[in-house]
Amino acid sequence: MTRLERSEKLIRLALLVIACSAVSVLIIITIFIFAQGTPILFKYGVKQFLFGQDWYPGEKSFGLLPMIIGSLYVTLGALVVGVPFGLACAITLTEFSSRRISRTIKPLIELLAGIPSVVYGFIGVVILVPFIRDTFGGPGLSVLSASVILGIMILPTIISISMDSIQALPRTYREGSIALGATRWQTVRLVLLPAARSGIIASIILGMGRAIGETMAVIMIAGNAAAIPRSILAPVRTLTSNIALEMGYASGEHRQALFATGVILFIIIMVLNTAANFTSRKKKR
């Protein structure tokens, strides 16, 4: 073996170790959460955790249904707000604006992703919550306010990944479509969007992941009532905020129940991601 080959081999080995260590962290986290959370899940029954509506850990009542539904509502709300805006923005910047404008605006949008979530929460508390309270009534801390703020928070993810996937399409698609007499909007709607679909769906999945996992901003603006919200103006508690709200004071079984919340959150995210991945792959064919 020459020296060059040996060093090549060494580098390959080092890279493999680095790659494995990243994965092993994921495995360790998974094992830890499940080891801490599953004993209590089985002690009181998975059914109570998944379908129970009362969350009173002090009285050994661990119903997580309001939080599960809360997480789904808020994530769905964020997509309803974020996806149309994000897609429209991505289309405008790639197809309907000059290169110079889109080159200045895109970095600014990516800057949005760097703002800490507590700042979004603060803006929500100071501006959005009073606005909703005064215009629509209710306490203001609500599904609606959380959805709007989360919708804004997922914008950079959706915009930049959608833009990249639209820009990556071959020039010939556009040229061919225009040559056939299609207008620019027809080109976008009938050629570019379908062709970039997998990238766009990926951006939505990533945005969804961010929305369902967001904690700090949601705690600040969602009101955190552990009941299934009756309307979009009612307060809501998500799985993540349930953990973060009570972790500081929890001990014993209460603490374990919060880990069980983590287990359920973990499973929900896995299911959502796999389902979304699966549908996007199926449609491509």
| Minimum distance of other proteins from residue 234's CB (angstroms) | 8
Asked whether the beta carbons of 63 and 70 are under 8 A apart, the reply is no
| Under rule CB under 8 A, residue 114 binds other proteins | no
Asked whether the beta carbons of 212 and 272 are under 8 A apart, the reply is yes
What character string, x for contact with other proteins (CB under 8 A) and - otherwise, covers 127-146? ---x--x---xxxxx-----
The DSSP symbol for 236 reads: B
**Cα radius of gyration rounded to whole Å, the chain:** 23
Q: Toward other proteins, which CB reaches closer, 232 or 276? A: 232
Q: Among 147, 157, 215, 224, indicate the residue that binds other proteins (CB under 8 A).
A: 224
Supply the DSSP string of 138-159, one letter for each residue.
S-S-SHHHHHHHHHHHHHHHHH
What is the rounded distance in angstroms from the CA atom of residue 220 to the CA atom of residue 202? 28
Which of 245, 248, 246, 238 shows the shortest CA–CA distance to 269?
238
| Under rule CB under 8 A, residue 223 binds other proteins | yes
Three-state SS for 202? helix
Give CA separation, 113 vs 74, 155, 264, in Å: 19, 8, 27
Give CA separation, 169 vs 47, 88, 99, 218, 282, in Å: 48, 17, 16, 37, 20
Under rule CB under 8 A, how many of the chain's residues touch other proteins?
A: 33
| Under rule CB under 8 A, residue 57 binds other proteins | yes
Range in contact with other proteins (rule: CB under 8 A) among 79-87, 109-117, 146-154, 219-227: 219-227
Give residues 94-113 in contact with other proteins (rule: CB under 8 A). Answer: none
| Under rule CB under 8 A, residue 175 binds other proteins | no
What character string, x for contact with other proteins (CB under 8 A) and - otherwise, covers 17-56? ------------------------------------xxxx
| Under rule CB under 8 A, residue 227 binds other proteins | yes
| Minimum distance of other proteins from residue 245's CB (angstroms) | 5
Binding site for other proteins (CB under 8 A): 53-59, 66, 125, 130, 133, 137-141, 219-220, 223-227, 234-235, 237, 245-246, 248-251, 254
